[in-house]
Chain A
């Protein structure tokens, strides 16, 4: 079987697997967030945290809860890492350096999972499992909850009540993320991922050297790391490490895990607004962008410029031979299209264009299908902007799902759209103000610029993957990227919640023949067009000097 055929089959199998899950998982999530009754265990949790589950919040209240919860999470995770040395199961490591602790706390709470540390040499089993993994769950749940609130904004009429954050958080964690990652972890263990409480094992390699092998609760963390589009690897090598991702088929499982929730959320959206076809339309937009992007990445990697890659018929540098070009390309595309950021190959070594597409994936705002929740709300904001421009062209005040897109809605949507490009571009530009920053680039010229672009694209969009080769562990980059992660996560969340609030207040306008239909291929094409064109227009100058100049030589 040629590698092209293998790649096509791999992608086709992934599509089938996702399509098969679309309805059941989407419907299940719908039932979880709409259930009237509270279970006993839930009530117990609400009592402990002092939440009043039957009181629904308005958007501002919801936002306050999200921010408060996240702020407390950052502080606790920070202290937890600092106190590592005094706690059991520390693998003998001391408390984590304050700077790295801070960066890691922000990174995990924002669902970014940018790692300024190396897992096996910094974090013990306890911090990994009880600190980082916990945030893997709840930060993902926060994203899903915010997306659900935005959809409620569309679905509800003339109200300011948008649900209760604590209820959403608890239910999504307990009944969606926990059970799914439980199953996923078992599958991964079956595939050979490790799951133990051993800190280090010494082994003699075939060459006669002594190698220290780190154990730990890897499979469980690997499961939620991908399922929750987090991406923070247990090991520094992330999913390229054989203990995290042992075989080609676990590779398939991991890619599936990181795509499954984001791709099924449009179904939940369709159910909540009472029109499944609207869900299909959004899923189609995500699917089209994802497919094109993946094809491009795999294509560029397979065509491979350069003497050595041509000789081996593909650009294999930085890729695991266990996975090969196609599987690595798909993984890379999937991890940047979602906000996961786990890697099974080194993106720095991708071809210029291939790496460029990965950067572009993140620049798109990670909406195809994006992070858990974050992908859906990002895509819906783009749909709102599309509806506004298109709606005017049919001669009516634009409306989406019966809600008018007026000045307030467009203001919030435009601001949302401004945030990440602003963070990214300002971050990149100001980095040049300090010549010392240029030392962080492994390469100079266009490729070095790509590394820098990648770092800020990754942090601003809460992806968390790194281009590799880029020395981000400096005071400037730790600060700047940390701020990008923080603002890139919470400013959009606040704007999305405000948008939900202003949509929920409206009475829906019934659809007529004069309403422009948002479930047809024409609309799908328009959203794809608006997404790609707006982003291309914003980033073309820097992309031209980075990956394009790099590749067009």
Chain B
């Protein structure tokens, strides 16, 4: 498996391959940054569009009346716009590389459409028509043989094949895809390794998984999310306020200058009021350029972080919704516990020797090929030193295999014409079997069974029946669900974030309760049928909560569609994948927890940078207002707390700081602010201190430092 290793790096801690201090990224994004200066592109970002208009305006002014001051400001205003564009381009660039390698899988695929559109074929030796993959439409039947690439998303309708899905999932082990059942979905761009299948195309041309993935990583289909729209409105309102503040300042400035007519004209203020260049500088410094410049990069980077964790979100809206999730529905099996239950002890009925029970348990499980059956044999060996025997070892033995109908397995051995029967299986069935054979299991048996159930285990009863004797129960095998390590801690972290976890299981309520307690989930839904899941989601949503769940089967589809965040497993059916709004390529149900964190991080980053952006304005005022007006009212120099060298250097320093802070914050925008699960009040206090108070202090220091340098430029200080 090849290119995809770089395409979809694994592991939680994968940081963007940045080296943001690596100037290469800035250089490679430079052409895109210039292309984005096109007003037709810029106007989508109103804040930066204003900066661009301002830059054009100062360019004209600087050309008419050139001065080092005018040109310095003009250059830095253009740089401000370019830095913003470059930030976006860098974010997009990361996706570009991924998209290119994905596209390779897509091009040049030729589809072999069945000439007779009838899925009922017995062998691949049928007539096919070769057409380019992009021309396939929904419903087409295509034949794919070993070595060929599947031309589009669809369901297997005939045949079985092993498929290499590494191009999409990054997972090199092949998977089996067959018609019917929950493993029928195939994706375009993946390759059949053996055998052949007939696929019914389910995706419209250009809307396949691969297409969506390409669009996603490129950010080309990026639509603004609800919170982003709301934030944009707030930023626009602030921009309007500041435009008003700056524009209306002019007549007041003229009035004041007129009043103090003796004050000399300067490059900053003359009889016509504040000069155009300074007006634009003040406006650009005040409007929320920091967040305006980084807003779309934050969004693209958020999606990128998801893709890096091998999750495909169908929309940014879904990612954002993940941050809002209140209730998490988690399937017990595979998510909270390991897929299979394991034998953890043998409980003998009083009067039965432990070794006898162990021997019977082992014998009766030899013909049970289910994981539970195997675990009994393993446990008998580990705990009782019973050598694993082969079914062929016992002569005259008749093996009774486990079936879902009988729910029992066992063995009948014949010695001297007398048949000795051993059975092991579900409590109800085995007890029934004992009764049929004349036995009467007493209360002690029921107590054992109840005890195991109560503790969250699954009781399997072992019984024997010797010809001529009454059948009797020997004891109970304690099958235990093994809760994955670290789950309790994870759930308590979720609880701290305000997220309630609900375990969904087919187990009976007692078992479910015990596992729920061990795993530390907040609630459980026992004996759950798909309808129950659906009802639970509805109930939660009616109470105003946002629900997230994972699912893979077709019967999960309605619930996945109803949930606010529905993560379909990649191993699941097309129906499930269509219904959810995210697909986890690793098919890891615990991924949901990471998705929630990414969603929260996305919002937090926007909020933090908005706060930072607004807080910055205070220092900029302290730089610019005295710079403009101290010449007419010397008392206002008291506001020049940074003791900046000259009016010109003060204004330049503020503009330069405003531009440089964009570059400085690009890594944060791409990485997202650090997120430590915890209660909202703690998060808020931390972020407020860091980005609010920090946002007030930083520019005072930054502007002062820049001023120390700027003051050295001849003609400025």
Tell me the A residues contacting B by CB distance below 8 Å.
385, 388-398, 402, 405-407, 409-411, 414-415, 417-418, 421-422, 425-426, 428-430, 432-433, 438, 444-446, 449, 507-510, 512-517, 520, 522, 526, 529, 533-534, 536-542, 544-545, 548-549, 551-553
B 628-643 binary contact with A (CB < 8 Å = 1; else 0): 0100110110110000
B499 near A552 (CB under 8 angstroms)? no
Q: How far is the CA of A168 from the CA of B90 in the complex (A)?
A: 57
> Which residue in B245, B599, B635 is a CB contact (below 8 Å) of A538?
B245
Q: How far is the CA of A510 from the CA of B242 in the complex (A)?
A: 37
Q: How far is the CA of A418 from the CA of B243 in the complex (A)?
A: 12
Residues of B close to A534: CB separation below 8 A: 241, 614
A393 near B687 (CB under 8 angstroms)? yes
A513 near B633 (CB under 8 angstroms)? no
> Which residue in A393, A405, A417 is a CB contact (below 8 Å) of B604?
A393
B607 near A391 (CB under 8 angstroms)? yes
B 596-630 binary contact with A (CB < 8 Å = 1; else 0): 00011111101110110011011001000100010
Residues of A close to B602: CB separation below 8 A: 395
Q: How far is the CA of A392 from the CA of B254 in the complex (A)?
A: 41
Interface majority SS (helix, strand, loop, mixed), chain B: helix
A545 near B248 (CB under 8 angstroms)? no
- Max chain B CB contacts within 10 Å: which of A394, A402, A430, A533? A394
Nearest CB on A from B26, distance (A): 28
Residue contacts A-B, CB under 8 angstroms, 27 given? A392-B608, A393-B683, A393-B687, A394-B600, A396-B324, A410-B231, A414-B238, A421-B241, A432-B255, A433-B251, A445-B260, A507-B544, A508-B544, A509-B545, A515-B680, A516-B683, A522-B688, A533-B618, A537-B242, A537-B286, A537-B614, A541-B249, A542-B249, A545-B252, A545-B633, A552-B635, A553-B633
Task: Across the A-B interface, give the 6 residue pairs with the lowest CB-CB distance, nearest first.
Answer: A514-B498, A392-B607, A395-B600, A552-B635, A512-B498, A414-B237
> Which residue in A397, A507, A516, A542 is a CB contact (below 8 Å) of B227?
A397
Assuming A395-B600, A445-B260, is B607 touching A429 (CB within 8 A)?
no
A-B pairs under 8 A by CB, number = 223
A397 near B256 (CB under 8 angstroms)? no
Residues of B close to A395: CB separation below 8 A: 323, 599-604, 675, 683
Residue B229 is within 8 A (CB to CB) of chain A in the complex? yes
Q: How far is the CA of A508 from the CA of B369 in the complex (A)?
A: 52
Known: A392-B608, A541-B625. 19 other contacts (CB 8 A): A389-B611, A394-B604, A395-B602, A395-B603, A396-B324, A397-B323, A406-B230, A407-B229, A410-B233, A414-B238, A415-B237, A425-B245, A509-B544, A510-B544, A512-B500, A545-B255, A549-B256, A549-B629, A549-B633
Closest to B500 in A: A512
Q: How large is the interface on B (under 10, 10 to 19, 20 to 34, 35 or more residues)?
A: 35 or more
Residues of B close to A541: CB separation below 8 A: 245-246, 249, 252, 625
Nearest CB on B from A452, distance (A): 9
Assuming A410-B234, A553-B635, is B608 touching A393 (CB within 8 A)?
yes
B234 near A545 (CB under 8 angstroms)? no
A449 near B252 (CB under 8 angstroms)? yes
> Which residue in B237, B497, B691 is a CB contact (below 8 Å) of A417?
B237
Residues of B close to A538: CB separation below 8 A: 241-242, 244-245
Residues of B close to A421: CB separation below 8 A: 241, 244-245
Residue B368 is within 8 A (CB to CB) of chain A in the complex? no
Residues of B close to A513: CB separation below 8 A: 495-498, 679-680
Q: How far is the CA of A410 from the CA of B237 in the complex (A)?
A: 10
Closest to B327 in A: A512
Nearest CB on A from B395, distance (A): 65
Residue B543 is within 8 A (CB to CB) of chain A in the complex? yes
Closest to B632 in A: A549
Residue B705 is within 8 A (CB to CB) of chain A in the complex? no
Residues of A close to B234: CB separation below 8 A: 385, 388-389, 410, 414
Residues of A close to B664: CB separation below 8 A: none
